[in-house]
């Protein structure tokens, strides 16, 4: 096989999943897990935001290395890399917003700028920010960089809506479900760029997961259900694995 044929062959291998309804369900579960698991380590174990961020960052970098090195799409590897990114995003956002004192609004503005900058540099460098074009290493690095910024932004937005905006956890859930429903409507009823709609929905599923996660484990007095962070994380992780299996289980054909 010559060099041109090798390049064409590598470009034809998708490194990301097909964008289906089950993709979005899995993504919401993953972002919710990131919130409960991140809080479990930083708060319940009392390891703090900085130490927790360092731990999850090492795990994320390790998984990202295997993800980028993989020659084809590996469902469990991809989704566990997503989980690692959303968990490190949770503790990183809490560290920036709370420990550094930037606040939810300042942190959200900073992280939104990083998401937009990442997308802009990606587009200028590669000519596309479509998730369907993520099939070679440089595009994949931009893809995961954008994802990490968006996961961190989502945590800050979720905290802002629940606390600063005074919507509470249930109000935040309604807000972000409404935004996602609007994007779904635009997808089916308009000609707006599918790539723009994808990244908009991708960002918004993170604050939805953040407020759902907080709703599950925050005290009753704060409007939560006061569930165990570890128990909730375990249940959500099982749900994620079931979603991955249902979406990508091998299909046996009758001969």
169-199 pLDDT, tens digit each: 999 999 999 999 999 999 999 999 999 999 9
Our count of domains for the chain comes to 1
pLDDT at 106 over 90: no
Q: To the nearest whole number, what is the mean pLDDT of the chain?
A: 88
Interval 1-7 mean pLDDT: 39
The confidence band for 3, taking pLDDT boundaries of 50, 70 and 90, is very low
Percent of the chain residues topping a pLDDT of 90: 68
What whole-number distance in Å separates Cα of residue 43 and Cα of residue 6? 49
pLDDT at 205 over 60: yes
pLDDT at 254 over 70: no
Instruction: Give the residue carrying structure tokens 């997961």.
Output: 209
Does a structural domain hold residue 3?
Answer: no
Interval 6-26 mean pLDDT: 73
Termini Cα distance of the chain: 33
pLDDT at 28 over 50: yes
Other Cβ atoms within 10 Å of 194 Cβ, number: 14
Instruction: Give the residue carrying structure tokens 């309804």.
Output: 21
pLDDT at 82 over 90: yes
Other Cβ atoms within 10 Å of 54 Cβ, number: 16
The residue segments making up the domain with residue 139 are: 15-248
The confidence band for 10, taking pLDDT boundaries of 50, 70 and 90, is very low
Does a structural domain hold residue 33?
Answer: yes
Q: Are 229 and 237 in contact (CB under 8 A)?
A: no
Picking from 125, 164, 161, 163, the residue whose alpha carbon sits closest to that of residue 146 is 125
- pTM of the full predicted structure? 0.88
Interval 127-147 mean pLDDT: 91
Does a structural domain hold residue 88?
Answer: yes
What whole-number distance in Å separates Cα of residue 60 and Cα of residue 154? 17
Does a structural domain hold residue 1?
Answer: no
Per-residue pLDDT, 250: 55
Does a structural domain hold residue 174?
Answer: yes
Does a structural domain hold residue 228?
Answer: yes
What whole-number distance in Å separates Cα of residue 204 and Cα of residue 117? 18
Does a structural domain hold residue 138?
Answer: yes
Burial class (CB in 10 A: 0-12, 13-18, 19+), 81: buried
pLDDT at 223 over 80: yes
Picking from 191, 181, 118, the residue whose alpha carbon sits closest to that of residue 150 is 118
Does a structural domain hold residue 5?
Answer: no
Q: Are 45 and 210 in contact (CB under 8 A)?
A: no
Interval 133-145 mean pLDDT: 90
Give me the half-sphere count of Cα atoms (radius 13 Å) on the Cβ side of residue 2: 1
């Amino acid at each position: 096989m010559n060099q041109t044929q090798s390049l064409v062959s590598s470009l034809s291998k998708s490194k990301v999943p097909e964008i289906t309804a089950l993709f979005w369900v899995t993504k919401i579960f993953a972002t919710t897990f990131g919130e409960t698991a991140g809080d479990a380590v930083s708060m319940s174990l009392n390891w703090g935001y900085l130490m927790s961020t360092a731990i999850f960052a090492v795990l994320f970098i390790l998984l990202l290395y295997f993800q980028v090195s993989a020659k084809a799409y590996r469902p469990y590897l991809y989704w566990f890399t997503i989980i690692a990114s959303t968990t490190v995003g949770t503790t990183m956002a809490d560290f920036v917003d709370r420990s550094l004192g930037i606040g939810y609004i300042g942190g959200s503005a900073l992280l939104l700028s990083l998401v937009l900058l990442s997308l802009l540099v990606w587009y200028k460098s590669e000519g596309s920010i479509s998730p369907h074009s993520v099939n070679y290493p440089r595009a994949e690095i931009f893809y995961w960089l954008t994802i990490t910024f968006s996961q961190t932004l989502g945590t800050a937005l979720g905290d802002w809506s629940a606390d600063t905006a005074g919507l509470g956890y249930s109000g935040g859930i309604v807000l972000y479900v409404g935004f996602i429903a609007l994007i779904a409507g635009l997808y089916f009823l308009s000609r707006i760029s599918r790539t723009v709609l994808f990244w908009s929905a991708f960002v918004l599923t993170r604050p939805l997961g953040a407020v759902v996660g907080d709703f599950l484990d925050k005290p009753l007095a704060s409007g939560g259900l006061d569930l165990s962070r570890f128990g909730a994380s375990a249940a959500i992780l099982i749900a994620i694995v079931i979603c991955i299996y249902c979406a990508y289980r091998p299909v046996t054909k009758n001969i």
